[in-house]
């Protein structure tokens, strides 16, 4: 009685559920019998017999059709039985946190429970969704998978996309237990309250790189960085290891005179690495969860939210998976054109701690791709933005990004739109802007910059915004209290438009002018001059550069940002690694909070 169509689809697939419903509606109804033990038996007109014993998972039930796993007959018996029963009283809301460790040990055995306890000892962050009057399922989003309790109080009906189902179930139960104790939806489970890990070697190399700068960094030092990266991966310190990967990528791009090098990005990575190795806080949030670099998924259902070209031949594809967004990185363009607006079901996928998904080919495991259709209408509410002001307020409450979980597409959302106004193009900034009006009456700013990898994306965006769009997917951020959307795809009455992949005829757009407020301009100027110092190296600074640091510090002081101004002045008077990191971290946090 507790297995809803969505729960049945999770155990099998939505196609089987639809087929079973269609056959029942057409009159192919099994004759049902219930024995004294509570087993439900269904006999179909074609002679197939299906028996659902109590306390047995649906895929372990007996069916004479011979199908392995959940078949349409098993689903049809469940649905037919539900149609014969009177509407029951609302079920009591249940929390998986009430499951005891003894219950878990009886389900999975002590050996599996010990493996789960090792993860608990290291600590992890989880987000839970409790049952409500409309949806009796409970769900926990763990660092590398999602766990859903489909039937209240019955651990045999737990669905997860991870291969290690039992271990994931234990972690989800402990997450609910902690969430119930704290009365919160997002919790840090187990672990230590401090990131008390010896990262002195990281600090030493960071100091040396900042003193040398990107312009003078020796390639000999890269070997030490690579060795350190391997050590961090072995210790499952995923976030510092990811920062080092990006740092080495920036250094390589600079030496190759590649366009991928950005002094501002190089400086941000240096400061983020410093923040992560010195911050106190949950280990899973600051340094990464104690999980493998990759986790195989048993069966994953993905809804594409669009794609963004990285080069002219590769792109990142964004997928909704449960309550989070996953990214398939550096995908070949031919494959992207099939996946960017599709529903994907795969039995050969892996997911990393940073929410990167890889769809691998296999002779045994299958991957199916179907058009996205109306799947955006059924996205989890956590990924949908209806109230722009409420979403902007939630973004303001996030911890600084320099020390929060380093996951891909963290803020990619599906933004619902009722009207678009003020569409304009600034040729100087090569930026298209528009005002989005939401269902609750609020407004948001849409901003899209021209990128050489996707020269037609702005024209495609303008055409889509003129076609009365219903949903815009993209990354969201907050600026001066207003929600800002960087679009990836747009759904109109004619379907989904993936901006980077669409080619439309250019049309003349109304001219606009991009304005920057004085406060933001001053913060950006200060970040630029500190980035130049990191690029040159603190051992190679010039008097003119330090004079510019004093100048922007004085300007910040006049505008009221006195603490940031004091940190800049301290660096100008005593140029050293601690004073630069102190000033730059302060400015980065200020820039994100504006």
The CATH number covering residue 307 comes to 2.40.50
Per residue in 512-557, pLDDT tens? Answer: 887 778 898 999 999 999 999 999 999 999 999 999 999 999 999 9
pLDDT exceeds 90 at position 136: no
Q: What mean pLDDT do residues 146-167 have?
A: 86
Does one domain contain both 396 and 465? Answer: yes
399 lies in the same domain as 490:
yes
pLDDT reported for residue 194:
44
State how far the Cα of 130 lies from the Cα of 136, in Å rounded to an integer. 8
Which residue has 């590769």 as its token pair? 314
- Write down which residue in 245, 266, 286 finishes a domain: 286
Tokens representing 589? 């946090």
Residue 425 lies in a domain: yes
Domain count, the chain: 6
Name the strands in the sheet holding 357-359, side by side, starting at the edge strand that comes first in the sequence: 294-297, 349-352, 357-359
User: Is 485 in the same domain as 411?
Assistant: yes
DSSP single-letter state for residue 162: B
The mean pLDDT value for 289-310 works out to 84
Task: Burial-class residue 241 by CB neighbours within 10 Å (0-12, 13-18, 19+).
Answer: buried
562 pLDDT above the threshold of 80: yes
What is d(CA 418, CA 237) in angstroms, rounded to the nearest whole number? Answer: 44
- Position 530 scores a pLDDT of 97
Same domain, 391 and 489: yes
Residue ending a domain, among 318, 352, 373, is 373
487 and 425 inside one domain: yes
Backbone region of residue 360 per phi and psi (left: phi > 0; alpha: psi in -120 to 50; beta: other values): beta
Give Cβ neighbours of residue 535 (< 8 Å, ≥ 6 apart): 213, 214, 215, 263, 266, 267
| pLDDT tens digit sequence for 395-423 | 998 889 999 888 889 999 999 999 999 99
- For residue 92, pLDDT over 70 is answered with no
C-alpha of 129 from chain center = 16
Q: Are residues 281 and 300 in the same domain?
A: no
Sign of CA dihedral 302, 415, 395, 274: positive
Residue 354: its pLDDT value, please?
87
408 and 493 in a single domain? The answer is yes
Model confidence, pTM: 0.77
Asked if 189 and 41 count as a contact pair (C-beta separation under 8 A), the reply is no
Sign for the pseudo-dihedral over CA of 251, 252, 253, 255: positive
CA-to-CA distance for 364 and 361, rounded, in angstroms?
9
Lowest mean pLDDT among 4-8, 84-88, 426-430: 84-88
Please check whether residue 513 lies inside any domain of the structure. Answer: no
* pLDDT at site 365: 56
Mean pLDDT of the chain, nearest integer: 88
Range with lowest mean pLDDT among 102-106, 199-203, 291-295, 304-308: 291-295
Q: 102 and 176: one domain?
A: yes
How high is the pLDDT of residue 423?
Answer: 94
Distance (Å, rounded) from C-alpha 257 to C-alpha 485?
32
Q: What is the pLDDT of residue 195?
A: 43
78 with 109, same domain: the answer is: no
Of residues 480 and 437, which shows the higher confidence score? 437
In a domain, 14, yes or no: yes
- The answer as to whether 323 is a domain residue is yes
- What is the band of 91 on the pLDDT scale with cuts at 50, 70, 90? low
Quick one: pLDDT at residue 271?
97
Tokens at 492, concatenated: 């109109």
- The HSE-up count of residue 191 (CA atoms within 13 Å, CB side) is 29
Q: How far apart are CA 250 and CA 268, in angstroms?
A: 11
pLDDT of 248 strictly over 70: yes
Whether residue 438 lies inside any domain: the answer is yes
Residue range of the domain that includes 80: 5-84
- Mean pLDDT for the stretch of residues 39-51: 88
Residues 282 and 298 in one domain: no
Q: For residues 310-330, give the mean pLDDT.
A: 92
* pLDDT surpassing 50 at residue 131: yes
Q: Is the pLDDT of residue 240 over 90?
A: yes
Same domain, 399 and 491: yes
Share of the chain above pLDDT 90, in %: 51
pLDDT number for residue 61: 85
- In whole angstroms, what is the distance from residue 71 CA to residue 83 CA? 19
- Higher-pLDDT residue of 84 and 561 is 561
pLDDT of residue 393: 92
In a shared domain, residues 367 and 385: no
Residue 154, in any domain of the structure: yes
Of 286, 320, 353, at which residue does a domain stop? Answer: 286
- Higher pLDDT among residues 531 and 14, named by residue: 531
């Amino acid at each position: 009685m507790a297995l809803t169509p969505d729960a049945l689809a999770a155990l099998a697939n939505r196609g089987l559920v639809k087929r079973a419903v269609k056959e029942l509606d057409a009159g192919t109804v099994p004759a049902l019998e219930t024995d004294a033990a509570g087993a439900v038996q269904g006999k179909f007109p074609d002679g197939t017999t299906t028996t659902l014993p109590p306390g047995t998972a649906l895929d372990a039930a007996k069916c004479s059709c011979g199908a392995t796993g959940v078949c349409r007959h098993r689903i049809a018996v469940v649905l037919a039985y539900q149609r014969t029963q009177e509407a029951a009283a609302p079920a009591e809301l249940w929390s998986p946190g009430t499951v005891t460790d003894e219950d878990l040990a009886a389900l999975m055995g002590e050996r599996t429970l010990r493996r789960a306890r090792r993860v608990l000892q290291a600590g992890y962050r989880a987000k839970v969704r409790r049952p409500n009057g409309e949806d009796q399922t409970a769900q926990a989003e763990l660092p590398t998978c999602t766990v859903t309790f489909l039937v209240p109080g019955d651990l045999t009906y737990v669905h997860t996309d991870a291969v290690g189902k039992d271990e994931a179930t234990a972690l989800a139960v402990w997450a609910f237990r902690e969430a119930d104790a704290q009365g919160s939806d997002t919790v840090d489970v187990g672990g230590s309250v401090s990131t008390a890990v010896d990262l002195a070697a990281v600090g030493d190399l960071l100091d040396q790189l900042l003193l040398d700068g990107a312009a003078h960094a020796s390639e000999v030092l890269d070997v030490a960085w690579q060795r350190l990266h391997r050590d961090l991966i072995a210790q499952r310190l995923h976030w510092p290891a990811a920062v080092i990967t990006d740092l080495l990528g920036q250094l390589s791009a600079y030496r190759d005179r590649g366009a991928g090098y950005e002094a501002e990005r190089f400086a941000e990575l240096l400061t983020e690495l410093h923040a992560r190795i010195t911050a106190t806080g949950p280990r899973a949030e600051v340094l990464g969860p104690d999980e493998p670099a990759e986790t195989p998924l048993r069966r994953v259902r993905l809804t594409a939210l669009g794609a963004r070209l990285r080069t002219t031949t590769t792109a990142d594809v964004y997928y909704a998976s449960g309550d989070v967004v996953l990214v398939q990185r550096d995908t070949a363009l031919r494959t992207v054109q099939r996946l960017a607006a599709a529903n994907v079901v795969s039995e050969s996928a892996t997911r990393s701690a940073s929410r990167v998904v890889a769809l691998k080919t296999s002779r045994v495991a299958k991957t199916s791709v179907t058009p996205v259709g109306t799947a955006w209408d059924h996205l989890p509410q956590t990924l949908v933005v209806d109230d722009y002001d409420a979403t902007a307020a939630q973004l303001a409450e996030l911890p600084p990004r320099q020390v929060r979980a380093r996951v891909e597409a963290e803020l990619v959302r599906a933004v619902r739109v009722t009207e678009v106004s003020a569409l304009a193009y600034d040729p100087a900034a090569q930026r298209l802007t528009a005002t989005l009006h939401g269902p609750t009456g609020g407004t948001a700013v849409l901003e899209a910059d021209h990128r050489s990898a996707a020269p037609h994306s702005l024209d495609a965006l303008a055409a889509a915004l003129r076609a009365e769009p219903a949903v815009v997917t993209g990354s969201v951020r907050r600026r001066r209290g207003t929600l800002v959307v960087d679009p990836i795809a747009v759904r109109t009455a004619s379907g989904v438009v993936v901006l980077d992949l669409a080619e439309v005829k250019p049309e003349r757009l109304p001219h606009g002018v991009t304005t920057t407020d004085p406060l933001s301009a001053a913060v950006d100027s200060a970040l630029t001059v500190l980035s130049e110092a990191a690029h040159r190296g603190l051992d190679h600074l010039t008097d003119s550069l330090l004079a510019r640091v004093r100048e922007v510090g004085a300007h910040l002081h006049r505008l009221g940002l006195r603490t940031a101004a004091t940190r800049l002045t301290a660096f100008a008077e005593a140029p050293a690694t601690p004073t630069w990191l102190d000033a730059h971290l302060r400015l980065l946090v200020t820039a994100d909070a504006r």
